[in-house]
Chains A and B, each alone.
Chain A
Amino acid sequence: MADLRDLYQDVILEHSKAPRNFRELATANHKAEGFNPLCGDRFTVYLDLDGDSIRDISFQGSGCAISKASASMMTQSVKGKSKAEAEKIFGRFHEMVTGHTHGDQPDLGKLTVFSGVSEFPVRVKCATLAWHTLQAALEGKQEAISTE
């Protein structure tokens, strides 16, 4: 069960049960939909962009504990950041969950609770779904993105 606790850390379980910024954003000027056809996870990410900076962010939808907690913590970590900063965080997050970190754990703050995902390759898509959706929203893509 030790391995399992690496994946289902308390912080992750807590966020999955009580996700933050889990609502439609009235002031949103960008949004994108993300879909994982494998397990039926579906999220919409709403953005209120002020020029280059993320003034506000929220999400809605349904998915597993990992995808929901990841979306919740993502909204917290990129709020107030610039587009470039958000992209950089995602890059490091992606390296961490896929086990491609070089040397030390990247400086991801609270997001390091997802490091256990690298031991569960089939769950990488769950952990990154919201991030891919954020990326699509930042790029202003119209089509729903899919992890497949």
Chain B
Amino acid sequence: MSTAAKKRTSSTRTAAPRNGNVSAPVQAPTSQSTSGYDVEKIRADFPILRQKIRGKPLVYLDNAATTQKPQAVINTITRYYERDNANIHRGVHFLSEHATEEHDEARATIQHFINAADSKEIIFVRGATEAINLVAQSYGRAHIGAGDEVLITAMEHHSNIVPWQFLCDEKGAKLRVAPINDAGELLLDEYAKLLGPKTKIVAVTHVSNALGSITPLREMIELAHAQKIPVLVDGAQAIPHLKVDVQALDCDFYAFSGHKVYGPTGIGVLYGKAALLDAMPPYQGGGDMIASVTFEKTLFNKLPFKFEAGTPDICGAIGLGAAIRYVEGLGIDQISAHEHDLLAYATEKVSAIPGVRLVGTAKEKAGVLSFLIEGIHPHDIGTILDQEGIAIRTGHHCSQPVMQRFDIPATARASLGLYNTRDEIDALAAGIEKVREVFA
């Protein structure tokens, strides 16, 4: 919203309910500090972290599954439903106009966060999964035919495998998989060999959710572009940890979920280069995505609305905007540095425990520590840690091919967020010792 619009809003609406903290305006993060990253102060922004679980302070290390929400996001959502709720793009009334402005503003916030060239390149979707399905169904069905190939890697989440399998099955195309080494690093030479005239799209994760490996995106994208092959990046696990600049990366599509970057569930983003999106057929039909409809012919709306059929998750988008502003307030580079230190500390601490083996030891990693304890199934590790108030994920992490690659049924995975501390890593290490005691 412009400054003028803000002024108008505040002077025009006088009877809006304001009760206590709930409808207070969105605060800037309280944790900015010139002297460095004050994690204790940051933790105070997250009400959920104040509670005890099974009598112990909550140690939340399941951030790769979903992240907790700062007060600023919770307040934004509450305030939206208390004061601003209206449908967007169609009302002439005050609230509709206001909600539309806030929704537009969220899109602009996200555009700047990932450095997209234009806000029309930001498509709101339900999450990274829907974003990838959109590209597979729209771009994919238009450009991929019998005998063509889709190239992915061996460390994709199921949501960057299955949509391409649907497409390949329908079109008689082939899914090719670039291999990884035992550390969980992409083999760039093998990847390069798999690129060829039949390759019609590359779909690759930015950070592996099961292993934490950061993929060599710049090199991969350059190699693909040298053969005029577009690249989709699954950024679900990168967006909370790393600075993402879609123009510097030069990726053609970038997908992520809001709830993994401290925003609400049910909202996510597909970034796409305008020229590609413009040429793509719509994904779903309905309201908002049309310019005009008769029973004979429908004209589609312009970007980004062409891909946003139906009333969108308005509050979700605005909530995601608040989450991004919160992250920007702390600084993504500062968050990244904090988490990098913490991951190094956790790696050292956990791998020093006898019987523990790390899965995923790539040189470049972000946010994820997957591990096994000799003779103890990850599911049992998860249950015992839970009794200590420690939340981790156990299982295949929706990456069964990764588990097959390492010939293991599952792993225990601790994953980091901007609010985690060294004390919490110590609690994890103590918890792992307890697991070993139970099974001694």
Closest Cβ of chain B: how far from A5's Cβ, in Å? 8
Query: A42 contacts B379, CB within 8 Å?
Result: no
Q: Are the CB atoms of B387 and A39 closer together than 8 Å?
A: no
Q: Does B117 lie at the interface of the complex (its beta carbon under 8 Å from any beta carbon of A)?
A: no
Contact status A64-B387, CB under 8 Å: no
Q: Is A145 an interface position by the 8 A CB rule?
A: no
A39 near B439 (CB under 8 angstroms)? no
A38–B397 CA distance with the chains assembled, in angstroms: 9
Q: Is B377 an interface residue (CB 8 A)?
A: yes
B264 in contact (CB, < 8 A):
no
Q: Is A1 an interface residue (CB 8 A)?
A: yes
Residues of B within 8 A of A68 (CB): 377
- Report A45 CB to chain B, min CB distance, Å: 18
A8 / chain B contacts, CB cutoff of 8 Å: 380, 384, 438-439
Per-residue interface assignment for chain A, residues 119 to 133, with 1 indicating a CB less than 8 Å from any chain B CB and 0 otherwise: 010110010000000
Known: A8-B438, A39-B410, A42-B409. A65 touches B384 (CB 8 A): no
Known contacts A39-B410, A40-B403: A65-B380 contact under CB 8 Å: yes
- Min Cβ gap B283→A in Å is 29
Tell me if B395 and A1 are in contact (CB < 8 A). no
Complex Cα distance A32/B394, Å?
A: 26
Asked if A110 lies at the interface with its beta carbon under 8 angstroms from chain B, I say: no
Query: Which A residue sits closest to B395, measured CB to CB?
Result: A39
Q: List residues 43-97 of chain A with CB under 8 A from any CB of chain B.
A: 62-66, 68
Q: Give the residue of A1, A64, A120, A122 whose beta carbon is less than 8 angstroms from that of B377.
A: A64
Per-position contact with B for A95-139: 1 when CB-CB < 8 Å, else 0?
A: 000000000000000000000000010110010000000000000
Provide the bound-state CA to CA distance between A63 and B438, in Å.
17
Assembled-state Cα–Cα distance A1/B54 (Å): 11
CB pair B379–A4 under 8 Å, yes or no, is no
Considering the complex, give the chain A residue whose CB is closest to the CB of B400: A40
Q: Mark A1-38, 1 if CB is under 8 A from B, else 0.
A: 10110011000010001000000000000000000001
Nearest CB to that of B409 among chain A residues? A40
Residue of A nearest to B54 (CB): A3
A-B contact list, 17 entries, CB within 8 Å: A4-B387, A7-B383, A8-B380, A17-B375, A38-B395, A39-B377, A39-B379, A39-B409, A40-B395, A42-B409, A62-B377, A64-B377, A65-B376, A65-B439, A66-B379, A68-B377, A123-B383
A interface residue numbers (CB < 8 A to B):
1, 3-4, 7-8, 13, 17, 38-42, 62-66, 68, 120, 122-123, 126
